[in-house]
Each structure stands twice: as structure tokens, then as C-alpha cells.
Chain A
Amino acid sequence: MHWSEQVWVRALRGRRGQPLGLLLLVTFLGVGLAPDVLGLAALRLAGFDAYQRWAPRARRSAPAVIVAIDEESLRLHGQWPWPRTWLARLVGLLAEAHPAAIGIDLVMPEADRLSPGRVPEFVPGMGPSLVRELAKLPSNDAVLAQALSGRPVVLGVAGLERDPGRPAQPLRQAPLRTIGGDPRRFVPRYEATLRSVEEIDRVAKGHGLLNFEAERGVVRRMPLVAAAGDAVLPSFGVEILRVATGAPLLTVRVGASGVEGVGISGLLVPTEPDGSVRLRFSRTDPSRFVSAADVLAGTADLHVFERKLVLIGVTALGLSDYQATPVTERMSGVEIHAQLLESIFDGDLLSRPRAAAWAEAAVLLLAGLGLVLVVPRLAVRASVAAFALLVGLMGAGGFLAYLHRGVLFDAALPSLALGALFTAMLVVTLAEAESQRQILRRSIEQQREQAARVAGELEAARRIQMSSLPQPTAVFPNETRLDLYAFLEPAREVGGDLYDFFALDRDRVFFLIGDVSGKGVPGSLFMAVSKALYKSAALRQARQVETVMREANAEISRDNAAGLFVTVLAGILDTRTGLLEYCNAGHEPPYLLPSGERPILRLADGGGPPLCAVDCFPYTASSRHLEPGDTLCLVTDGVTEAAGAGGELYGRERLEVLLAKTGPGTSAADVGDAIRQEVGRFTEGVEPSDDLAILVVRWKGPSPGEG
């Protein structure tokens, strides 16, 4: 069996492959609504990342400036960590520029080892007085605390996955108010927090979580709030905004399905249910950065910090936490915080509303149904174009939604699903076409084979029939007393007509015409057998036609397994005396066309049923003296039942009219040809359904030599 005709292929293919297409479509819809099952979410995220790479966010208001502790700073000021007095100086310098807020992207959980009082620990050989003097000096932490206090400074807090078992710091009430429910069950959760030493932490105006979580190695989202222990903490960025606006509290709005947004002094930032926002990144921009070295050296233009959100962070390679983002492989953590501030400021965050997922499913459903319906009906090239158009439209739609609405519509997964669906439909359609070709090929083969077989069989039947028929000129080459015409036209499916004539002795001629009640090879075989048996019976029982008939009936019946019968009209004409004996076994009666006065005669007397119809039927013969020139005309029902174009039969009446018109002295051949021609005209354009046989016997009288 050809592969395209396997049962399961056919079941999936249905009439046009729709069962398979619909099955795949349902599968893809399921996968599309729950893409994590097959790890396809990565593909979706890659699609979203592609949007950002093609069209990164444009920086507009640039609210944040980063003071970067960069390579240059380290080169000038030495190794990190610096004494906190330097950080204090940096903050002091920046504060003079009246920034809206200063965020320090650092956690300083231990006391500064470089404080004067601790110098003897790592500088041996100091005298006791020097040690005492040093101990009197304020610690570096105190200096930093002094610098921070009273200034709008936000310190970083690190969320820890695991409680390190450090001595607990006093809980600081987070400046958060929740509306509508408890956000803790929705937001990211940390077991503990790591804060700066109490001395510093205490004086900061705000504290924000520095953590961001990478999805599959790429930072795309930033939590605005998270749970740490029992508390809910704001993230670094929103805390900077709160401090900058001077708002006492942040509001966390919680709905039934999760966090809905975080309010900062009248501005509500909508969030994902887990309290995070999807960042829309711009590319790394050097104009965001001012080197800490320049600030410390007094060479930086301090005006750039005025009324800005200033972020102090480490960007020096090897020290900073670099993260991969959609727009770049490496972005320092502090810049990511700056990106968040810019995004919030410009209202340029991304969102993926629940409706987006349903829209994707709906688009996939419609486009998929379209493909399922259209692909089997289109040429391959057209269906490829249709598929490409659909994918192009989805991609363009997704990109436009991103560009103008900041909505993340996933075109990648539906495209992939459509691609798989399209491929499957194409394969199935091609399989269907292939299968059709196979069926067609086979049916043509069968038809040819059938035609050849039938042609062979019909040809065989025709040969059997025709080869057993004698020709008058061959049988009676020198017969002057007899004028004989014989004609047989087999139908396409041979009907088993027969005729025969032979000499019984010097004077007597035996003739017969017959019709077997069967067609094709069986009919022609039976015809040939009947004719042979009849002839042998005639030659053995040469005396009387009725005994020949009885004998033939017995013999033919003996070998008649097929249950056929044969009508026969047989006669013996004595060409010397003109005595005609005839016997009719169920055949059309012969016509006598007298040489002189008309009308013609129908010799319907005597006889019996067809041979083989009744066993041992006592056939009786009739006899008649012919006049010289009398003509006998014998036909089969191929003549009387020849059907014309309208379905009408030629009929006996027409035949009789025709025969009546033949004048005395018309030769046997002319009578026969007249019948043939008229029947031919009558049946013009109609395929004959039965054989047509004509036998015309004209007695010309005793030969002159004997008369």
C-alpha cells in the first residue's frame, strides 16, 4: 500500500486534511495558553526581547544620573571599597547640587575597617598615644552617617534567599500602605534582608531592595515591592521616587488576582500581579554617567545633578553586578535601576495584559482555521504566500502594539504554531494529491486492463463465431441451381447468432439459421458447439429434417451446462425437385418470396420449442414444393428487434413491407443487401445490442442438364 493510503494517514487527512489541522490547532492553542509546559516560554521571551532590540526605548526626560565608581575612579583613588569618608565626601558634594534624591546602590553591612580607630589593627608599631589619638577620631561610618543625615538619601537593601543567621537588626517600618489585600502572597519573597550597619542605615530617608531577578538569565522585569521576612519592602527605584517626591508613604494596590499597582504620591504605576514591572530598556547611554572621580576632583559640572535622581553605584569591571538585558548582554545593576526610573518617569513601561494572551489565542485560532480551510484548496505557492502573509501580519501587529501601546503581544509562538500547522497541512495536502494520483493511476490501470480483457474476450468470441461460419462461394463453388446469401454481423458483445449450409448429397442442401440465448464467450462457444453438433447430426441422420432436429436437440442438450437454449430454423432443399422440408425450433419463421405472384408467405407452421428447452421434444417438419425462382429469407431477431435511435424496434411489419417490394428475380444477395441497408439506416448511430444474421436461399430451378 502506498504510504499516503495508510489508514491513520487517511483518518487524519479526512477529505482535505482538516482533522489533522484541527487536532494540531487545538494542541497549539493549549500550548499557547500554557507555554511553559514545553519550555516554549523562552521563545515568547525571545520574541519580546527582539521588539526591544529593534526599537529600544528613547530617553526623553532623563530624570536619573549615575555617579559611577568606574575604572577611572579606582585608578585615581585606589582599591575598592573606599573608606566611607570618601563616600561621605561624594554625597556631600552631590548634595550641594540639590538633587531630588540620592540613591546609593550599595549595601554596607559591616563597619568600615578603615575607620581611624581600627587602623592599629592592620598598621603595626603605632605607639599607644597614637592609638589613643586615633580612637578619639570619629569612625568612618559616623562620618558617612553625618553626611547622609538630613539629606534625601536612599540606601540599598539586599534580599537574601536564605537567612544567614546574622544578628537581627531592629525592624524598620517600611513606608508602605497596602490597599485591597495582602500583597505578600503574590510578590517575590526573601527570607531575610542584608542592610547597612545600623549607624548608617538609621539615618537614610529611604531603604529599597536592590534585587532584580533574571528570567532565564535576562533581566526583563523589576519588582516594585517584595516580601522580606514578614515585611513588605519597596524596591530601590520606587523608594528613590518616594523620597524625591517627599511622600511619606507608598501605596500598594492589591486585587483578587494580585498586585495591581504601586502608588507614589499620586502616580500609580501599574504592575504585573507579582508586583513587578516589565522594563522597556533603552540602550546603554554614556550621558547617563558621571565619573565619581570627576565629582571628587571637582571637575564635574554639578548642575547636571540638580533636581535629578542621582544614583551612586559601582560600574568598574570586576566589581559591578552586570546583568544581561534584552538590549545588551551586559548592563550594570545601577543602570538597570536608572532605566526603571526613566521608564516610570516617562510612563514608558511595558505591559502584558491578560487580554493579550487571549488575543494571541484568538489570532492563532482564526489564522489556524484559515490555513486549515485554505491550504488544501490553494496551489502550494499561493498557500505559502498566504502563510507568509499571516505570519507577517502577526509580527507587524505585535511590533506595532509594542511600539505604540507598550503592550507585549506574542507573535512568535503563534507564528511557530502556524508554521507547524501550515507544514502539516501542506504535507497532508500533498499526501492527498499523491493519494488521488495513486487512485487515479490504479483506476486507469484497471480500466485499461478491463478494456484489454473485454476487448480480448469480445475478440475471442467474435473469432469463435465468425471462424465457424461458412462462405457460400466456398461451399458451393459451382452450384448453378442455388443462389445463396449469408450474412452475420456480430454485436460488440457477441450474441451467438449462427447460420450454416452444406450439401447432404448431390442434390440436397441443408441450411439453418439460429440464435443462442447467451452472449459473449459462453454464447459464442455454445453457438459453435451447437453448429458442429447440428452438422454432425444432419450428416448422420440425413433423411429427414425433423429427425435431425430431434437428434440435435438430444446432443446439444447433453453438453449444456450453462443452461442455454438455441432457436434454430433448419431446412433441406432438394435442388433437383424444389422440395423444401423445414423444421422450426422456436425461431423466427422464414419468409417465402414466391417467384411469381405475391404476397410473400410467412412459413409459421409446425415446429417446436428451442433446442435444449424441452428434452426429447417430438419436432415435426413441414414441407413445401418450391417453384424455380422462389426465395427463402431467414433472419434472426437482430433484424426484427434492431432498435432505432428513438428506441423503436425495426419490427416484422417493416421487414415484410421491404420483402414485398423486392421484385421476382431479385437475387439472394440483393434481397440480403436490401435488408442490411434498411436496418442499417434504421439503426443509424445506435450501437446494435444483438447479432444480426440473414440467410437468403433462392432456388433457381433444376439445372439445365437434369431438367
Chain B
Amino acid sequence: MDLTPKRYADTVVLATAGRIDHSTSEGFKTALAPHLARCTAGQDRILIDLAGVEYISSVGLRVLMLASKQAKAQGGTIGVAALQPDVKEIFDITRFTMVLNVFPSVREGLAQLSPPALAAFDAT
């Protein structure tokens, strides 16, 4: 599963697409790992752009949960943005909205996570 990284100041936006389920979650986890390693206090913030994701299973949620835990432990910040309605519903039911920062859009996510990143986003 591919992640397309785009950097805005201190924030990396990682865009992905498709289904995050049993068959793709390992790849998703592997792709996420190097970014996550830099997601520490004072370093990169991560915003995962889920606009292209149509489904996420509990295995996929687990990857996000572990990412969130690792980021928290490192003092970093992680969030997800731009959830499609079906994915949003899964987040709502599982209350994963309480596990991760969930933003309606990438821009709002950047606005919440890092003003410099928002400035960089608006500049492009």
C-alpha cells in the first residue's frame, strides 16, 4: 500500500487510497513506519489524508491505533483527515474519533496541527 508524502513546513501529509483491510494493512503499516519514526516532539507532525480510502477494517484501525500510541509515546502528533462517509461512519461507530485527531479536510487538519504548515499549504 503506497503512501504519497507531501511536506508542508513541519507537517507531512501522507495520502493513501483504496481499502485498508486484512490484505493491505501490513503494507500500510510498513509504509507508515519510517514517517512515524520521525514523528516526535519538535519534529514532524503527521496528517494522514484518507480522501482516497473507501473502507477500513478493524485491522486497519489497529494500525492507526498503534501509530497513535507510538506518536503519543514519542511526544509527536498524528491525525487523519478527509474521511469518506463510509469511513467516517466506521470511525464514529468504533469511536476512533476519540483515538485519533480526525479532521474534515487536510486544510483544517493543518490549521489545527500547525499554523506554519497551513501557511505553507495555502501558499502552494
Query: B9 within 8 Å of A by Cβ?
Result: no
B96 nearest in chain A by CB position: A609
Q: Are B95 and A586 in contact (CB under 8 A)?
A: yes
Query: B111 within 8 Å of A by Cβ?
Result: no
Write the nearest CB–CB distance from A588 to chain B, whole angstroms: 6
Q: Are B62 and A517 in contact (CB under 8 A)?
A: yes
The verdict on A586 contacting B93 (CB below 8 Å), with A563-B66, A608-B98, A617-B98 known, is: yes
Q: Are A614 and B93 in contact (CB under 8 A)?
A: no
Q: Are B66 and A610 in contact (CB under 8 A)?
A: no
When each residue 78-119 of chain B gets 1 if its CB lies under 8 Å from chain A and 0 otherwise, what string results? 000000000000000111101100000000000000000000
The verdict on A517 contacting B61 (CB below 8 Å), with A563-B66, A613-B99 known, is: yes
Interface class of chain A by DSSP: loop
Query: B120 within 8 Å of A by Cβ?
Result: no
Most central of B58, B59, B61, B69 by chain A CB within 10 Å: B58
Residues of A within 8 A of B94 (CB): 567, 586-587, 609-610
Q: Which of B22, B66, B99 contacts A609 (CB 8 A)?
A: B99
| Complex Cα spacing A587 to B94, Å | 6
When each residue 582-626 of chain A gets 1 if its CB lies under 8 Å from chain B and 0 otherwise, what string results? 001111110000000000000000011110111001000000000
Residues of B within 8 A of A519 (CB): 22
| Complex Cα spacing A563 to B67, Å | 10
Residues of A within 8 A of B65 (CB): 563, 565, 610, 612-613
Query: A500 within 8 Å of B by Cβ?
Result: no
When each residue 51-85 of chain B gets 1 if its CB lies under 8 Å from chain A and 0 otherwise, what string results? 00000001101100110010000000000000000
Query: A515 within 8 Å of B by Cβ?
Result: yes
Write the nearest CB–CB distance from B80 to chain A, whole angstroms: 14
Write the nearest CB–CB distance from B36 to chain A, whole angstroms: 13
Q: Are B95 and A607 in contact (CB under 8 A)?
A: yes
Query: A551 within 8 Å of B by Cβ?
Result: no
Q: Are A588 and B93 in contact (CB under 8 A)?
A: yes
B58 nearest in chain A by CB position: A517
Write the nearest CB–CB distance from A585 to chain B, whole angstroms: 7
Q: Are A614 and B99 in contact (CB under 8 A)?
A: yes
When each residue 505-541 of chain A gets 1 if its CB lies under 8 Å from chain B and 0 otherwise, what string results? 0000000000101110000000000000000000000
Write the nearest CB–CB distance from B100 to chain A, whole angstroms: 9
Residues of B within 8 A of A586 (CB): 93-96
The verdict on A614 contacting B98 (CB below 8 Å), with A563-B66, A589-B93 known, is: yes
5 closest A-B pairs by beta carbon, nearest first, are A586-B94, A517-B58, A609-B95, A609-B98, A517-B62
Interface residues of B (CB under 8 A from A): 22, 58-59, 61-62, 65-66, 69, 93-96, 98-99
Selected A-B contacts with CB under 8 Å, 27 pairs: A517-B59, A517-B62, A518-B59, A518-B62, A563-B66, A563-B69, A564-B62, A565-B61, A567-B58, A585-B95, A586-B94, A586-B96, A587-B94, A588-B93, A589-B93, A607-B95, A609-B95, A609-B96, A609-B98, A609-B99, A610-B65, A610-B94, A613-B96, A614-B98, A614-B99, A617-B98, A637-B58
